[in-house]
């Protein structure tokens, strides 16, 4: 595995691969890798000649009161996991060089960032879209791999790629979970044992929501009220939001129709740790 910190050198190396018609797959991450990240890398390996993974804890996407400083980091461990997956290239830009002191250009995706996490984390998706636009300009991948775990991020970045004419296909990879249902996340290390147990309420609630819809429930107000009731049984939880939105537009849905694809999305705090999870449901 080759490791690059310099954008220009990486771009040149990748241009040489492209001249030889090699397909490049790209997996952007913030590191502290787990099986969820590795699943994205495995997908990329399957369908590309060269796989590039970036590790960059992007300061632009953290609010002033968020966990940028505490965010877990362990590049040594990450490198051995990446080598285990036969990753070809690791890109680890340095924040000061990646964003020069005169940096002042941002990418805004307007409508898809209004609800869900966008409402709770002002500036977050602007930070995400800006860093991924920069990374795409360096890597110029044929395919970008993103996890369903951050579904709103996937929709925002797909829209950006489309609107700004990036020559990249976007592929979404399903959520990887622990055996007991907890969605893998780098932030799970923050959880105490009790919080970790209570956090199972997220996947259980989503599963119940999916079952309700499959059994014919169509009134989202009623479904959301049933699901909120279930979540509130966990004593350590502080619900941030629970929404049922159209999977494409992310607009809240009132009545579910037979050809709709709905996303049930939850964000909740367990102690100081904010976790997100979701499920996609085809309303047949």
Residues acting as catalytic residues? 37
Is 135 a binding residue for ligand AMP by CB under 6 A? The answer is no
Task: Name which position in 176, 234, 244, 275 contacts ligand AMP (CB under 6 A).
Answer: 176
Binding segment for ligand AMP among 131-139, 142-150, 207-215, 224-232 (CB under 6 A)?
142-150
Please, which residue, 89 or 176, has the CB nearer to ligand AMP? 176
Task: Name which position in 10, 14, 24, 30 contacts ligand AMP (CB under 6 A).
Answer: 30
Q: How far is the CB of 92 from ligand AMP (least distance, A)?
A: 13
SS3 87: coil
Binders of ligand AMP among residues 39 to 78 (CB under 6 A) are 39-40
Q: Which long-range contacts (C-beta less than 8 Å, at least 24 apart) are formed by 162-167?
A: 163/109, 164/107, 164/133, 166/133, 166/136, 167/140, 167/142
Is 37 a binding residue for ligand AMP by CB under 6 A? The answer is yes
Binding segment for ligand AMP among 14-22, 133-141, 177-185, 195-203 (CB under 6 A)?
177-185
Binding segment for ligand AMP among 8-16, 35-43, 209-217, 223-231 (CB under 6 A)?
35-43
Polymer length in residues for the chain: 284
Sequence-distant (6+) residues with CB within 8 A of 184 are 34, 35, 36, 149, 175, 176, 177, 178
Q: Is 211 exposed, middle or buried (0-12, 13-18, 19+ CB in 10 A)?
A: exposed
CA distances for 16 relative to 19, 22, 88, 105, 135, angstroms: 5, 9, 14, 29, 18
Q: Specify whether the backbone of 123 is left (phi greater than 0), alpha (psi in -120 to 50) or beta.
A: left
Please, which residue, 10 or 146, has the CB nearer to ligand AMP? 146
Is 134 a binding residue for ligand AMP by CB under 6 A? The answer is no
Q: How far is the CB of 258 from ligand AMP (least distance, A)?
A: 29
| 245 beta partners | 252, 263
Q: How far is the CB of 12 from ligand AMP (least distance, A)?
A: 26
Please, which residue, 40 or 109, has the CB nearer to ligand AMP? 40
Binding segment for ligand AMP among 6-14, 70-78, 178-186, 204-212 (CB under 6 A)?
178-186
Q: What is the DSSP letter of 75?
A: H
d(CA 114, CA 122): 9
Q: Which residues bind ligand AMP (CB under 6 A)?
A: 29-30, 36-37, 39-40, 146-147, 149-150, 173, 175-176, 183-186
């Amino acid at each position: 595995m080759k490791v690059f910190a310099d954008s220009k050198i990486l771009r040149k190396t990748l241009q040489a691969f492209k001249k030889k018609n090699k397909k490049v797959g790209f997996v952007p991450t913030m590191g502290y890798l787990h099986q969820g990240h590795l699943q994205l890398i495995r997908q990329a390996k399957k369908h590309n000649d060269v796989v590039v993974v970036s590790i960059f804890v992007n300061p632009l996407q953290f609010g002033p009161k968020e966990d940028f400083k505490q965010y877990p980091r362990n590049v040594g461990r990450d490198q051995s996991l990446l080598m285990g997956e036969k990753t070809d290239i690791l890109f680890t830009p340095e924040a000061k060089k990646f964003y020069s002191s005169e940096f002042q250009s941002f990418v805004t995706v307007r409508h898809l960032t209004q609800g869900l996490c966008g409402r709770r984390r002002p500036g977050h998706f602007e930070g995400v879209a800006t860093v991924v636009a920069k990374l795409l300009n360096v890597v110029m991948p044929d395919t970008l791999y993103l996890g369903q775990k951050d579904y709103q991020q996937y929709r925002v970045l797909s829209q950006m790629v489309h609107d700004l004419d990036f020559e990249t296909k976007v592929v979404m990879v399903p959520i990887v979970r622990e055996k007991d249902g907890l969605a893998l996340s780098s932030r799970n290390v923050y959880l105490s044992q009790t919080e970790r147990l209570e956090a199972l309420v997220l996947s259980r609630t989503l599963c119940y929501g999916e079952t309700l819809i499959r059994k014919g429930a169509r009134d989202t107000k009623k479904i959301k009220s049933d699901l909120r009731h279930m979540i509130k049984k966990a004593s350590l939880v502080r619900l941030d939001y629970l929404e049922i939105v159209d999977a494409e537009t992310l607009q809240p849905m009132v009545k579910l129709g037979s050809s709709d694809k709905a996303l049930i999305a939850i964000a909740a705090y367990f102690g100081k740790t904010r976790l997100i999870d979701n499920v996609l449901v085809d309303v047949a």
